[in-house]
């Protein structure tokens, strides 16, 4: 394997290990069984549902007809 390629692969592996370690530490600090990624995902879903609800409300409002039908 080329030395530069080996260095890149090694650095990527180190970053992955650091990320996994951070996630484990956060889970231990919180002391619950819900992983951080799942909690973040549920927050995004809740915000999306709120936004979709607002879009539906805005779409249900009657608009004035166009002056020239197509």
Digits of tens for pLDDT over the chain (70 positions)? 677 888 889 899 999 999 999 888 887 777 765 666 777 888 888 998 888 887 777 766 666 666 766 5
Q: b or e along 22-42 (b: 16 or more beta carbons within 10 Å of the residue's beta carbon)?
A: eeeeeeeeeeeeeeeeeeeee
Reported as a single tens digit per residue, the pLDDT across 30-44 is 776 566 677 788 888
Separation CA 23–CA 18 (nearest Å): 9
Q: What is the pLDDT of residue 57?
A: 73
């Amino acid at each position: 394997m080329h030395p530069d390629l080996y260095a890149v692969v090694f650095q990527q592996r180190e970053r992955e290990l650091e990320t996994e370690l951070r996630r484990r530490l956060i889970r231990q600090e919180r002391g619950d069984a819900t992983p951080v990624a799942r909690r973040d995902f549920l927050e995004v879903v809740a915000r999306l549902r709120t936004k979709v609800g607002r879009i539906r409300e805005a779409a249900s409002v009657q608009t004035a007809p166009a002056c020239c039908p197509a």
